[in-house]
Amino acid sequence: MTMRLGPILGFRGCGNDVWRASVLVVADDAQAPALKWGRDAALAGANGADTTTQLFAHKKQKVWRHDFSVPQEATELTVHYEVGGAGAHAFSVPAKGEAPRIAYASCNGFSSLHAMKQVDVKNRLWSHMADRHALKPFHLLLMGGDQIYADEMWASKESLKGWLGRSRDRRISAKFSKQMQRDLEDFYFHQYVKKWSQDEPAAMFASIPSLMMWDDHDIFDGWGSYPEDLHKKMS
């Protein structure tokens, strides 16, 4: 098995002294890589997933999500886990009745390659979060939109550049071709794999359950704000 992306922890809610989480991975395998988790770092007597779901498949790569439930205790606890034997990870669960410690992030990327080249330290704020997390672990990573910047989609494939280069009326009348669909699916899938597998954000995604909202750059700049007839065409 080759892990292409992950693990990415998700927050699935809490109630009745149970903290519900998920682990998402992208792997080249017909079968879901097994989840093991427990309070022991050696994963002795480890638990498995409550449910396992294949969310998506792109060519030979499959997106899997394991859901599981962690009983909260009187004190904060550390949960250790691994997926498919690909390395150990851990995250913190707040004690019963304790408010979670929350980290917030948004705008994870750049709207242009020019802007990106002006930055002297790659993923500086993810590294800052990691330093804070090491001192006192966060329980929840709340992401307010623009988890990636997908604006470069328009320059990534000839079929998309050709559509964008037309006049407004011709864009509206043009058909959405099978080639455009293939190009879009390739772009978005590999964009997430590429951006989220960078060392700095990947470390945080693997150690803090996240709850994510979406914004325009996750699709492309200005999504939702175009005239209705053009927006429907771009949908």
Cβ(66)–Cβ(49) below 8 Å: yes
- Say if residue 219's pLDDT is above 80: no
Q: What is the dihedral of CA 106, 84, 21, 17, to 10 degrees?
A: -150
Q: How far apart (Å, rounded) are the C-alpha atoms in residues 2 and 193?
A: 13
Distance of CA 199 to CAs 6, 21, 33, 164, Å?
11, 22, 21, 34
Task: Give the three-state DSSP class for 48.
Answer: coil
Cis amide prior to 7 (ω within 30 degrees)? yes
Amino acid at 55: L
Q: How far apart (Å, rounded) are the C-alpha atoms in residues 222 and 226?
A: 7
Amino acid at 4: R
Q: How far apart (Å, rounded) are the C-alpha atoms in residues 235 and 107?
A: 22
Length of the chain: 235
Taking only the tens place, the pLDDT of each residue in 135-194 is 999 999 999 887 888 888 777 778 877 777 777 778 777 788 888 888 888 998 999 999
**Which of 79, 87, 89 lies closest to 38, judged by CA?**
79
Share of the chain above pLDDT 70, in %: 91
Average model confidence (pLDDT) across the chain: 87
Q: How far apart (Å, rounded) are the C-alpha atoms in residues 10 and 32?
A: 17
Domains assigned to the chain: 1-100 (2.60.40.10), 102-235 (no CATH)
- Say if residue 39's pLDDT is above 60: yes
**Counting beta carbons within 10 angstroms of the beta carbon of residue 9, is it exposed (0 to 12), middle (13 to 18) or buried (19 or more)?**
buried
Least confident of 48-57, 64-73, 118-127: 118-127
Q: How far apart (Å, rounded) are the C-alpha atoms in residues 47 and 168?
A: 56
Q: In sequence order, what DSSP letters do the residues of 129-150 get, joined into one string?
A: HHHHHHHS--SEEEE-S-SS--
Task: Give the three-state DSSP class for 104.
Answer: strand
Amino acid at 148: I
